[in-house]
Amino acid sequence: MELRNAAKDAASPAPVSATTAPKTVEINGKSYTTDPWFNVSSTVLSLTSRKLHLQKDHPVAITRKIIESVFPAPTYKYYNEFDPVVSTFENFDSLGFPPDHPGRARSDTYYINKDTLLRTHTSAHEAELFRARASGGYLISADVYRRDEVDRSHYPVFHQMEGARVWDRTKVPNGDLAAAVLADLARLPTHNMKVEDPNPPFHPDRNPLQTAHHTPEEAAAIAAHLKRSLELMVNEIFTRAKAATDPNQTPESASSEPLRVRWVEAYFPFTSPSWELEVFYQGDWLEVLGCGVSQQSLHINAGVPSQSGWAFGIGLERIAMLLFQIPDIRLFWSRDERFLSQFRGVEDRLDQMKAFVPFSKYPACYKDVSFWLRGTSAAGGNTGRGVGAVDWHGNDLMEVVRDVAGDTVEDVRVVDEFTHPKTGRRSMCYRINYRSLERTLTNVETNEMHDRVTKALVEKLGVEIR
């Protein structure tokens, strides 16, 4: 679970759509001044007020509750109201992201202006909570924003939960941090999952111990506490998922067939060593979360150098889709009673959880759009940004499609791509699948919508339709 997967250019913004940008935008009652970095569509802006994780009986909120139940108060304190607008410092710098990290690219992240963005992960609030020292543990749940493709498992807004646990070496008995952590570990419940954990707790090259700050015993103890805590969380979630999706099983009987999970080494700028946890579910290994021993620099910068601990982050929609067998991520945003009514009452009676019953699948309608990219220089290997250079990011197209056609688009993919051998111009063909979740679209309205998408691509991205 890398924050971003491809190397991208975080250099100065392209002028695309700058002309249509408003001078200020209002988000949750506060006004922000935009600049040429602004790249948030009105659709995405309108979702900043939805807060699905706080909407009673919404599957995202139910999933949050299930996770909270595994991290009890008063050790853990819950933070569910942090504003989605944060500084680049909070989202990246405070967590040790280098200045050229691809996650900062404007093609991937929604910027209000050069220094302000819609958080891309809940880790943006870690430093602030470490500084506050309000409890031994934290759980944050919040909406997060990433420019991405359009398909049934990607949406530009989703929800994450961040968890962190800290211990203060000046406050533990005899100053023995490792012993204190292990004593807390001994107080945690056990489970009967099959856990594969083939790697040592740290490795000098692949997954280093923070030698300047932690003894091997301390890091190993923190890692062990982290792993047990998260295994308990996953056990709770997947035992419930099994019970909900198999009507013959109660949570108790479901646990007779043990779940399989495995720890995989990972990398995050703000933890070391780091891991991902994968769960074997319905025949596949599924990555469910990222975590690790917090970089000591976070605690030092937060003014609490004597504090150490762990952190994790988990995406809620992905888990909710498994828990409730929800087939399309757009459904979470639906206000259709046929969706919402199926979860009513469940937040207070988790044992009543059952799988979502889809309310019929309406027909798909595929439309292609082919165009030449703007610019005339040889496309492929051209990395320059001079006049005429091709500067194409698929996510810009995704954004235009979403903005015009909203949730009636199920997915968008590239079906053809070539460079003209003589002129060097690049041509792309995308296939858009229009399919409403709520009704059958008429031919006329689909054609109209596709026309509007095509026009917007010309206007906003400067392409030439073929």
| Residue ranges binding ligand PHE (CB under 6 A) | 1, 3, 121, 123, 162, 268, 271, 290-292, 311-313
Smallest distance, ligand PHE to C-beta of residue 265, A: 13
Smallest distance, ligand PHE to C-beta of residue 114, A: 22
**Cα–Cα distance between 291 and 163 in angstroms, integer?**
9
Smallest distance, ligand PHE to C-beta of residue 223, A: 13
- Residue 186: other Cβ atoms inside 10 A: 9
Smallest distance, ligand PHE to C-beta of residue 209, A: 16
**Cα–Cα distance between 103 and 126 in angstroms, integer?**
18
Choose between 239 and 272: whose C-beta lies nearer to ligand PHE.
272
Choose between 84 and 313: whose C-beta lies nearer to ligand PHE.
313
β strands within 155-270, DSSP E: 157-168, 194-196, 260-268
The DSSP annotation for 52-67 comes to GGGSTT-HHHHHHHHH
Burial class (CB in 10 A: 0-12, 13-18, 19+), 350: middle
Choose between 245 and 295: whose C-beta lies nearer to ligand PHE.
295
**Cα–Cα distance between 39 and 121 in angstroms, integer?**
18
Smallest distance, ligand PHE to C-beta of residue 314, A: 8
Choose between 120 and 342: whose C-beta lies nearer to ligand PHE.
120
Listed in sequence order, the residues at least 6 apart from 183 whose beta carbon sits closer than 8 Å to its beta carbon are none
Choose between 271 and 342: whose C-beta lies nearer to ligand PHE.
271
Smallest distance, ligand PHE to C-beta of residue 428, A: 29
39: tokens are 């790249």
Residue nearest to ligand PHE (CB): 313
Choose between 125 and 435: whose C-beta lies nearer to ligand PHE.
125
246: tokens are 């198999």
Choose between 62 and 289: whose C-beta lies nearer to ligand PHE.
289
φ and ψ of 370, to 5 deg: -115, 140
How many CA atoms within 13 Å lie on the side-chain side of 421? 0
Smallest distance, ligand PHE to C-beta of residue 9, A: 21
